[in-house]
Amino acid sequence: MKLRQTAQAVIAGALMLAGAPNLSASPIIGIGDGQPTSWQDALTAGNIQPVSGPLSPLAQAFYQQSVDESQTDPGIPDAFGFERSPVKELYAVDDLDINGQSFDSLVMTWDPPDPSPGSGTEDFLGIAAWQYVYDQDPDFTQAMVHFSIGPPLGAPHIWDLSLELVDVNGNVKSWFLSMPMAGWQNFWIKAYGGTQGPWMLMGQTPGFDITQVTAIQFDGAAFNGVMGFPPVPPPGVPAWDWLPFNHLYVTVPVPATLPLLGIGALVLLLLGRGGARRAAHAGSGTGKR
């Protein structure tokens, strides 16, 4: 009896530590190389979409800051503006090789503002974006986003990268990475965290609700004034700029209370089986008399 009471107390304590059950949709996904869902399946399902329209206020502030800094840093080509460019293509490529490493990838291509000399936009940043849109609006309070990006050429060709979480009302929380290197690079972003490694937290717009995130958005910015970008991977049509991603997954750490629940439940199960065996034995003994 004491053991049963102890097991019940363990379960009750674990539930109290865990708090009320989370009834919101799960943010957990796994897409791309080595993940349960392929890029092509996510594209076909409509969860992966190109992004159009204006930049978020935080993205506008970041890119303006980036342009301003380029004009005071002698080691960076001068950029004189920025503009959202429409995505030309989003498509899946098997075993895409970037600097000797091959992965199943999602490729985003875009044409920037007119790069021809004298156009007035030849020294602009051309910015394009895609997003993963959830079917529901999951709680990202404890979520961690893991992704891999493979710029075929580093800065200043690919100038900046960004990740933005978009909530149900269109508010965002934004991180940015300046002057990325070429080649595949893996990153973790904790949705509840601030600046993490090379990813600078630009902030979040007023009213951003981390418990109702509807999309994860990735921007890539390329500098018009630098020539020599390699051709887009087949079967894509020619484009000025392109950027590949080899996986995206979102995970939520297992609460420390779950093992306690498991231990308590196992003890109760074993006690229940023991009681059933004793009852069966007692019943068979009575029948023999």
User: Bigger pLDDT: 209 or 119?
Assistant: 209
Average pLDDT, the chain: 84
Planar angle of CA 182, 183, 186, nearest 5 degrees: 115
165 φ/ψ angles, rounded to the nearest 5 degrees: -95, 130
3-state class (DSSP) for residue 269: helix
Beta pairing partners, 102: 97
Which residues, at least 6 apart from 118, have a Cβ–Cβ distance to it below 8 Å? none
Burial class for 168, CB neighbours closer than 10 Å (0-12, 13-18, 19+): middle
How many whole angstroms separate alpha carbon 248 and alpha carbon 32? 6
At residue 153 the predicted structure's pLDDT band, cuts being 50, 70 and 90, is confident
How many whole angstroms separate alpha carbon 12 and alpha carbon 6? 10
Q: What is the mean pLDDT of residues 156-162?
A: 90
How many whole angstroms separate alpha carbon 260 and alpha carbon 14? 6
pLDDT for residue 60: 95
How many whole angstroms separate alpha carbon 197 and alpha carbon 195? 7
Alpha carbon separation from 97 to 30, 44, 121, 182, 287 (Å, rounded): 21, 23, 31, 12, 76
pLDDT for residue 11: 36
Range with top average pLDDT, 73-82, 200-209, 223-232, 275-284 = 200-209
Strands (E), the chain: 29-32, 48-50, 81-84, 87-98, 101-110, 124-133, 144-149, 158-167, 172-178, 185-190, 200-204, 213-223, 241-251
pLDDT per residue as tens digits for the range 89-110: 999 999 999 999 999 999 999 9
Give the chain's domains with CATH numbers: 29-251 (2.60.120.260)
Burial class for 203, CB neighbours closer than 10 Å (0-12, 13-18, 19+): middle
At residue 232 the predicted structure's pLDDT band, cuts being 50, 70 and 90, is very high
Which conformational region is residue 19 in: left (phi greater than 0), alpha (psi within -120 to 50 degrees), or beta?
A: left
Q: What is the mean pLDDT of residues 261-271?
A: 46
pLDDT for residue 255: 63
The percent of residues in the chain predicted with pLDDT above 90, rounded, is 66
- Tokens for 54, please give them: 């204006």
pLDDT for residue 84: 93
- Counts of helices then strands in the chain (DSSP H, E): 4, 13
The DSSP secondary-structure symbol of 231 reads P
Is the CB of residue 125 less than 8 Å from the CB of residue 79? yes
Tell whether the model's pLDDT for residue 198 goes beyond 80: yes
pLDDT per residue as tens digits for the range 242-258: 999 999 999 998 764 44
Residue appearing with tokens 């007119």: 114
pLDDT per residue as tens digits for the range 5-45: 444 444 334 333 443 334 458 999 999 999 999 999 999 99
Alpha carbon separation from 200 to 194, 218, 229, 265 (Å, rounded): 8, 14, 26, 44
